[in-house]
Amino acid sequence: MLIVPNQEEIAHHTDKTTPFKWSFEELRKIPEFGALVAFLALFIFFALSAPQFFSLRNITSLLTIIAELGIMTVGESFLIIGGEIDLSVSGVYAMAGFVFVTLANILTFPFGSLLAFIIALLVSLLIGFINSQVVLKGSIPSFIATLGMMMFLRGILLGITGGRSISYAGDRLVPTLLTGIMAYRFRPSHFWFIAIVIIFSFILNRTIFGNRVFATGGKKLAAYTMGVNVNRVKANCFMISSTLAGLSGTIAISRFNLANVSFGQGMELEAIAAAVIGGTLMSGGYGSIIGAALGAGIMGMVRTGLVMAGVPSYWYNAFVGIILVIAAIVNLKLRSTILGE
């Protein structure tokens, strides 16, 4: 397995020889621990302050919101760990949804929505590829390149739709597979989200590619000298981020049954915030997919919890801001030893 100078930061991912001790000091070395503590603390608080918060109906509603943000966050985390950032995810989210709805409405043959769905994901993948080439070949900071892409995509959507919503009129196959209501109001998107978290967590922590993502984001030059094709790794991360944003968009649009240019506005910042709350370092080279999922859980839970607790809505943003900062601080402090601080 590749060894790079940043490896000590992620030793816990690969070290199977040291027996694990269930002490607090050991627990807080788990990258997801801080996010888990913050998640549970918030969950318990809202469950105590709002009687209906801990109801099955609300849990499934929360899962729906968390799944859509969480899928985007998983991709964003992958890219941030790889040392880049993607601000175009919300634009991809809206564009993929628009492509899906438009094509599904046109492709009226049986299972046309499946083809529309695949094309929407391919368009998202292509946008990720273009982002990567602009950043890597053009040597443009990913912040600027993807900001430009986000504005470009939203501009295109606005130009095409003129601001009008487009209702979904295709077959029900893909909407049912993505967001159809199941028993107890669970939705398939909840399980897709869990599956994606497991798969991408495995890829990040248990495969050579994942190790190269850590290496590329941590010490790019060292990784390069060790033979890692850092540009290829980053390009793959861009495509993962964009494709998952597209998937998130098609899920949301399937749920709403309509596409609109305003959908997903500001979601890029929520996804980045969720990744950071979940323990991902903005500087790259460190992070966790499960932590990112918990971060998305915190983001999704806060507003719902505030509504149900009866907090005056003018105060929401103030509370959301303070809760997110506290969650991030708790997370950082709990795992500070692992970075030797």
Partner 1 sequence: MRKYFLIFLAILLVVSFATLASFAQEAKEKYVVYVVVHGGIGDPPWELNHRGAQAAAALFPDLELNYVGPTAYNVPEFISYLEAAINAKPDALVCTLTAPEAMDNILKPVIAQGLPVIAINAPDPRPSEDCIPVLSYVGLPDFYEVGVNCAKTFLEYVKPTRVLYCNHAPGATHLKETGRGFLETMANNEIPGEEFVTSEDPVEDAKMTVDYLKAHPDTNVILHPNSTHLEAIIKQLEDEGYKPGKDVFLGHPFDPTIPMLELMEQEKVLFCSDQQMYLQGFYGVMFAYMKAKYGFEPPLPPVTTGPIIITKKDVPALKELIAKGLR
**CB-nearer residue toward partner 1: 10 or 150:** 150
Least distance to partner 1, CB of residue 254, Å? 11
Interface with partner 1, residue 337, by CB under 8 A: no
Interface with partner 1, residue 308, by CB under 8 A: yes
How far is residue 44 from each of residues 38, 40, 58, measured CA to CA in Å?
Answer: 10, 6, 14
Interface with partner 1, residue 277, by CB under 8 A: no
The footprint of partner 1 on this chain (CB under 8 A) covers a number of residues equal to: 51
Interface with partner 1, residue 313, by CB under 8 A: yes
Question: Can you list the alpha helix ranges (DSSP code H) found in 50-163?
Answer: 56-81, 89-106, 112-138, 142-161
Least distance to partner 1, CB of residue 264, Å? 7
Query: Between helices 112-138 and 89-106, what is the axis angle to 10°?
Result: 150
Interface with partner 1, residue 151, by CB under 8 A: no
**Of 108, 167, 207, 337, which lies in the binding site for partner 1, with binding defined by CB under 8 A?**
167
Residue 117, amino acid: F
- Angle at the Cα of 151 (from 120 to 92), degrees rounded to 5? 20
Q: Pattern 57-96, binding to partner 1, x per CB under 8 A?
A: xx--x--xx-------------------------------
**CB-nearer residue toward partner 1: 223 or 261:** 261
Whether the Cβ atoms of residue 132 and residue 238 lie closer than 8 Å to each other = yes
What one-character-per-residue DSSP string does 238-282 give?
A: HHHHHHHHHHHHHHHHHHHTEE-TTTTTTHHHHHHHHHHHTT--T
Structure token digits, residue 117 = 């769905």
Interface with partner 1, residue 152, by CB under 8 A: no
Interface with partner 1, residue 322, by CB under 8 A: yes
Interface with partner 1, residue 107, by CB under 8 A: no
Interface with partner 1, residue 98, by CB under 8 A: no
Structure token digits, residue 281 = 């370092």
Query: Between helices 89-106 and 56-81, what is the axis angle to 10°?
Result: 120
Residues that bind partner 1 (CB under 8 A): 45, 49-53, 55, 57-58, 61, 64-65, 158, 162-165, 167-168, 181, 252, 255-258, 260-266, 303-304, 306-317, 319, 322-323, 326, 329
